[in-house]
């Protein structure tokens, strides 16, 4: 996922004509649904994508993101898929295993299917850190994930012409 840099262009390129899938975890929905709101606002308001060109699917948790993203890619015409979730560090090492598996799964989908699958999974140590990245003091990482998807599609289009 992209991070904010001072040297990046200030205007998001138009994504009109592209179709997007968003797969979002319902676990920790206070955070993940805020990420979803940021992603859809970025696509529809700032990149000019009609809401009818954004397909949203919900999964129980972050671990299910790669498989649902694959199903979405195989069963719907989409140009890019944004995967949104949040795994907060807990008392056990579960977060390590989940985050690694999800990141590997999403990367494999990128290479296997040849379309952008964007990793928009927060991996904070605390719930407050998650909230800070889901519309709080650190912005909205869902919005950044959508921006990354748009920029990847524009890059792909530029490289194919």
Instruction: Give the pLDDT confidence of 124-139 residue by residue, as tens digits.
Output: 999 999 999 999 999 9
**Annotated catalytic residue, options 5, 33, 58, 94:** 94
Residue 135 lies in a domain: yes
What does the alpha-carbon distance between residue 139 and residue 148 come to, in Å, rounded to a whole number?
15
Q: What is the pTM of this model?
A: 0.93
pLDDT at 1: 52
Give the chain's domain count: 1
pLDDT in tens, 43-74: 999 999 999 999 999 999 999 999 999 999 99
Q: Which regions of the chain are under pLDDT 50? A: 2-3, 5-9
Active-site residue flag, 94: yes
What CATH number does residue 90 fall under?
A: 3.40.50.960
> What is the C-alpha separation between 19 and 54, in angstroms, rounded?
6
Q: How far apart are the first and last CA of the chain?
A: 25
User: How is residue 78 written in tokens?
Assistant: 């989409």
Classify residue 17: in a domain, yes or no.
Answer: no
Cβ distance 116 to 153 under 8 Å?
A: yes
Residue 1, domain member (yes or no): no
Q: 68 is in which domain, residue-wise?
A: 45-160
């Amino acid at each position: 996922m992209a991070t904010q840099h001072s040297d990046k262009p200030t205007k998001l390129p138009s994504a009109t004509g592209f179709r997007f899938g968003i797969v979002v975890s319902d676990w920790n929905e206070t955070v993940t649904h805020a990420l979803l709101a940021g992603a859809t606002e970025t696509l529809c308001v700032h990149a000019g994508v009609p809401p009818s060109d954004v397909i949203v699917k919900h999964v129980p948790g972050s671990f299910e993101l790669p498989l649902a993203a694959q199903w979405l890619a195989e069963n719907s015409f989409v140009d890019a898929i944004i995967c949104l979730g949040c795994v907060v560090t807990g008392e056990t090492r579960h977060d390590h295993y989940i985050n690694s598996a999800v990141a590997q799964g999403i990367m494999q989908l990128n290479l296997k299917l040849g379309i952008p699958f964007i990793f928009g999974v927060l991996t904070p140590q605390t719930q407050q850190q998650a909230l800070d990245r889901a519309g709080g003091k650190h912005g909205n990482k869902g919005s950044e994930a959508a921006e990354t998807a748009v920029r990847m599609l524009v890059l792909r289009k530029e490289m194919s012409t």
